[in-house]
Structures are given as structure tokens and as C-alpha cells.
């Protein structure tokens, strides 16, 4: 891992000229580092957390369940998360009439293509371990809508979720009446989260963008720390068709004077991000330069890491999640929390390593290489784009070593399903194509046609119902004694994973 380099540039130089010089100088650098030097300055160092939450079940009380379903139905009547009118005008208007609740606490804002939710959970665990009251807002949910808004490491209970909706409903209707378009499903949920965090009150909010950054509904906060997880192609109809174009949208969360924690990126995406940092005088810490993964080894139930943060090295960190991508997420999360506490910029030293160890050991991330059954082993992973699928395939191969792996895939129609299936082709002996209950789900016959193109007809089975698909995959995994080490991976969509989780008895 390279050492940080002192800058020999003057702060009074023209930002555009400085950036052009930097890019020109760095074109021969190893692109895997994605660490083009840019910005008016670079971040350098001078030297019993809450338990992770499981996915909540439906409320046991019939009346509470009825009330929650009524709220869900009202929210579902609004624009869904994929129907957008790119603007923060509506959410800004809602924040205004609510009294700007998002200004009541500091926040860490997270964008990127893959790894946002897992990174948010790690950041939340670390902050909680240092005795801060946390609020976390993530999307989408795996099983219950209440997962999206968490306090102190756990989803808010259904009663509180209902109360949060009822509290802001009159103001939502007021804004609806004044705007050309009604507030969307995601915008209302964002308003609920920000109001709930102010009401709690929280010491810090950890906020994941829904899509993009500049015009995302979450982007009415002025976060002191902006986190950018790896960028790849997804939502290309909304965000752009190249990593650079997508980075342009996502860079919108970087605010004046903020600290940017930048995961490894494609070079063109890194250029865009770092140029934005120049423009707003942001401080940048880059994976592979100021922080990163020093070493990792497979351990029972996860992996053992040495991480380099902004304040030095942290050894013997047990992370109960699988895959190299989760180790990189951990490095990003650690550096984000260090930056939040001012380590590396305002003060020397590092975080207490024992507290860091306890925090990481508590992390869970449902639906991310999550084992939900044995004999045969059934693993759930919410990969829904090619980059995520490649990370999942690598993590699965490294951690499990199945002798035969059966895939169950149900994807959304707006995704690069061919790229997704191609990423899994080397590790799937056979694939069972299915469909989840979402209106966004790709038609099972259309998905099967793509699967046949990728896998060949002999390796593809079609089961339109997810329960039948799970049964078929488990049967295939069990059918021959020689395949005692066989397993099943359910993937392709967060919704597919959530529904499979329920069918397999996880609550």
C-alpha cells in the first residue's frame, strides 16, 4: 500500500488547471489504484456496540399489522422508487414545513453503486460502539419496510413507523397540493426518517442515497463526511451510460468543506469525484493511498482483517461477513468514522482498537452472502448488477468451496440481466430461473431466454413460482451422493432474496 504523498501544489492555483496537470501526471499509474491526486488538499494522518438487527417479521398484534398495512398501501399509491422527476424541490419543501429536521444532527452520507447498505451498517455499528445514538436510513428493504429506518442499530418498531407517517402526513398533503407532482414513495419515507431521527433524537445519522446523488431525495442534508462506494454501471437510463457520467450524478453529495472517503473506483469515475472535491474545497481520503485493506484471511464464519485507517493500522479485526468486497467496505466504513471524529485532519491518534474489534464483530448484513439453511447449504445474496454478481461469485467461491452450485435467479426487468448471468455462469452448474412478486420483475420466459443464451439449454430450468424454484434447486443439489458438498445460491434481486428468506423460514 502506497504512502500518502505531501502536496507540492499551492492552494491559490486555478482548480481546473491543477486538475488537468494532475490527470496528465497520473495517466501512467496503475489504474487499479484509482487514486489520481486531486483536490486542494488530501487527508493525511499524523500519527459493547449495539448488536446488529435481524430482519423484522410482521407485527404480532393484528391491529398493529392492519395499521401498518394501511400505511404501506398509502405509500404504495405514490410514485415508486423507479419513477422519478429528478429534483429536490419537493423534499426541500417538505423539510421546510417540518422545520428542517435534517439540520438537527450531523450525518454521514453514502453513495456508490454497490456496497452502500453493508457499509452503512458497519458505520452504524462503529458509531454505536463509541456510545453515539445512531439513526440509519437505507434502501431497499429485504422483507419489512420498517428496516429502512433504524435507531440504535435496530429497525424502528411498527408502532413508531406508523406514528412517524401519521405525524408528517398533514405536511405531506400540504406539499402535494403546492407541487406539480406529489411526493414520491421514497421522498415520503425520507421525510419520515429525517423527522424520526430529530424526534429520537440521534447523535448522528447514517444516510444511504436511493439513486444517484445530486437530485436524490436524501440530498437535503449537509454531511460533513461523504462516502463513495465502488461505482459501476447501474440505473443507466437515469444516471448515465459510463462510470464518469454516473460519478457526475453521485458527486452531488459532496458538500463544501466536507471530507470524502473514496473507495477504489474506475479511473474516469475517480477523476470526476476528485474534480468535484477541488470545486468545493473538500478533503479527500482514497482507498489504496490514505486507507485500505492491509491483509485478510478466511476465518470460520467470516474473515480476519488488518485495516489501515486514517489513524494507523487496526489488527485482528474479525468481520462476520464473506468476500473481499466486504473487507473493502470495512476499510471504507472505518475511515468514514475516523473522519467523522476528526482523526487524520484535526487530531492525531486512532480509534480504540478493542472498541473497533467489538463493533465489526457485531455486524450483520441480511441478504448479503447470508446462509439460511444447511444440508444443502442455501445462501442468499442480493446482487442485482454485473459488478455485484462478480463480487458475490468471488466471495462465494472463496468462502464455501461448493462441489456443485445451483443458482436460483429472479431479476428485475430494468437490469443488465445478461451481464448478471454471465458473472455467475462459471460457478453455477445449473440455474433455476424464476420470478418474484414485484411489478418490476422480469418476465420468467424472457429471463429464461437470456439464461439459455448464457448457460445453454441443458443447464437451465424454469419455475415461475419462487417456492417451486427453491424446491427444484434444493432437489438438484441433493440428487446425487457424489455432490454432498452441493449448495444453492438465491440471487438477482433484493425482492427475490427477501421473499426466499420468508419461504425458507427466516423471520
Q: What is the pLDDT of residues 96-155, one digit of tens each?
A: 999 999 999 999 999 998 899 999 999 999 999 999 999 999 988 888 999 999 999 999
Q: What is the mean pLDDT of residues 39-43?
A: 34
Higher pLDDT pick, 252 / 240? 252
List the single range of 16-25, 48-57, 346-355 with lowest mean pLDDT.
16-25
Higher pLDDT pick, 238 / 100? 100
Q: What is the mean pLDDT of residues 359-378?
A: 92
- From residue 175, alpha-carbon distances to 90, 102, 368 in Å are 7, 17, 37
Q: Please state, rounded to an integer, the average pLDDT across all residues of the chain.
A: 86
Positive or negative, the CA dihedral 105, 110, 116, 122 is negative
The pLDDT value recorded for residue 407 is 97
CA 136 from centroid of its chain's CA atoms = 12
Residues in contact with 493: Cβ distance below 8 Å, sequence separation at least 6, in sequence order: 382, 384, 410, 411, 412, 415, 436, 438, 441
The pLDDT value recorded for residue 48 is 42
According to DSSP, the residues that pair with 302 across neighbouring strands are: 299
Q: Which uninterrupted H or E stretch holds 488?
A: strand 486-491
Secondary structure string (H, E, C) spanning 135-192: EEECCCCCCCHHHHEEECCEECCHHHHHHHHHHHHHHHHHHHHHCCCCCCHHHHHHHH
Q: Is the pLDDT of residue 301 over 60?
A: yes
The pLDDT value recorded for residue 8 is 37
pTM: 0.85
Q: Which residue has the cell 405536511?
A: 171
Give the pLDDT band of residue 349 (cuts 50, 70, 90).
confident
Q: Is the pLDDT of residue 35 over 60?
A: no
Contact 409, 491 (CB under 8 A): yes
CA 258 from centroid of its chain's CA atoms = 20
Give the pLDDT band of residue 40 (cuts 50, 70, 90).
very low
Residue 186: all three cell numbers together: 421514497
Contact 387, 114 (CB under 8 A): yes
Amino acid at each position: 500500500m502506497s504512502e500518502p504523498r505531501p502536496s507540492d501544489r499551492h492552494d491559490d492555483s486555478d482548480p481546473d488547471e491543477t486538475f488537468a496537470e494532475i490527470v496528465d501526471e497520473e495517466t501512467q499509474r496503475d489504474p487499479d489504484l484509482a487514486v489520481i491526486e486531486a483536490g486542494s488538499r488530501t487527508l493525511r494522518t499524523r500519527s459493547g456496540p449495539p448488536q446488529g438487527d435481524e430482519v423484522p417479521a410482521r407485527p404480532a398484534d393484528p391491529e398493529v399489522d392492519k395499521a401498518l398495512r394501511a400505511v404501506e398501501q398509502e405509500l404504495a399509491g405514490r410514485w415508486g422508487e423507479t419513477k422519478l422527476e429528478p429534483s429536490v424541490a419537493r423534499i426541500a419543501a417538505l423539510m421546510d414545513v417540518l422545520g428542517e429536521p435534517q439540520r438537527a444532527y450531523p450525518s454521514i452520507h453514502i453513495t456508490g453503486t454497490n456496497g452502500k447498505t453493508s457499509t452503512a451498517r458497519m458505520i452504524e455499528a462503529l458509531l454505536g460502539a463509541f456510545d453515539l445514538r445512531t439513526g440509519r436510513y437505507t434502501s431497499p428493504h429485504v422483507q419489512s419496510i420498517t428496516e429502512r429506518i433504524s435507531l440504535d442499530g435496530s429497525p424502528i418498531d411498527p408502532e413508531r413507523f406508523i406514528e412517524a407517517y401519521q405525524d408528517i402526513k398533514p405536511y405531506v398533503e400540504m406539499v402535494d397540493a403546492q407541487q406539480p407532482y406529489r411526493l414520491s414513495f421514497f421522498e415520503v419515507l425520507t421525510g419520515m426518517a429525517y423527522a424520526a431521527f430529530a424526534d429520537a433524537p440521534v447523535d448522528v445519522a447514517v444516510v444511504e442515497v436511493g439513486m444517484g446523488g445530486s437530485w436524490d431525495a436524501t440530498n437535503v442534508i449537509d454531511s460533513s463526511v461523504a462516502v463513495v462506494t465502488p461505482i459501476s454501471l447501474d440505473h443507466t437510463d437515469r444516471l448515465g451510460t459510463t462510470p464518469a457520467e454516473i460519478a457526475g450524478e453521485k458527486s452531488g453529495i459532496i458538500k463544501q468543506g466536507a471530507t470524502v472517503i473514496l473507495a477504489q473506483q474506475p479511473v474516469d469515475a475517480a477523476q470526476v469525484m476528485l474534480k468535484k472535491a477541488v470545486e468545493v474545497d473538500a478533503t479527500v481520503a482514497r482507498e489504496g493511498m490514505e486507507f485500505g485493506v492491509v491483509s485478510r484471511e478466511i476465518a470460520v464464519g467470516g474473515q480476519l482483517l488488518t485495516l489501515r485507517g486514517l489513524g494507523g493500522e487496526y489488527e485482528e479485526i474479525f468481520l462476520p461477513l464473506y468476500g473481499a468486497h466486504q473487507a473493502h467496505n470495512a476499510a471504507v466504513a472505518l475511515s468514514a468514522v475516523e473522519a467523522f471524529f476528526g482523526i487524520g485532519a484535526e487530531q492525531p491518534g486512532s480509534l480504540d482498537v478493542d472498541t473497533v474489534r467489538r463493533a465489526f464483530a457485531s455486524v450483520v448484513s441480511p441478504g448479503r452472502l447470508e446462509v439460511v439453511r444447511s444440508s444443502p447449504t442455501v445462501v442468499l445474496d442480493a446482487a442485482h448488477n454485473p459488478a455485484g454478481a462478480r463480487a458475490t461469485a468471488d466471495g462465494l467461491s472463496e468462502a464455501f468451496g461448493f462441489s456443485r452450485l445451483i443458482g436460483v435467479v429472479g431479476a428485475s426487468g430494468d437490469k443488465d440481466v445478461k451481464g448478471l448471468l454471465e458473472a455467475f455462469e462459471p460457478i453455477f452448474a445449473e440455474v433455476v430461473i424464476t420470478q418474484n412478486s414485484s411489478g418490476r420483475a422480469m418476465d420468467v420466459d424472457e429471463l429464461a431466454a437470456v439464461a439459455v443464451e448464457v448457460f445453454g439449454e441443458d443447464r437451465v430450468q424454469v419455475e415461475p413460482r419462487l417456492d417451486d424454484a427453491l424446491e427444484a434447486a434444493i432437489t438438484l443439489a441433493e440428487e446425487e451422493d457424489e455432490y454432498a458438498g452441493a449448495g444453492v445460491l438465491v440471487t438477482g434481486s433484493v425482492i427475490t432474496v427477501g421473499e426466499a428468506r420468508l419461504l425458507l423460514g427466516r423471520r
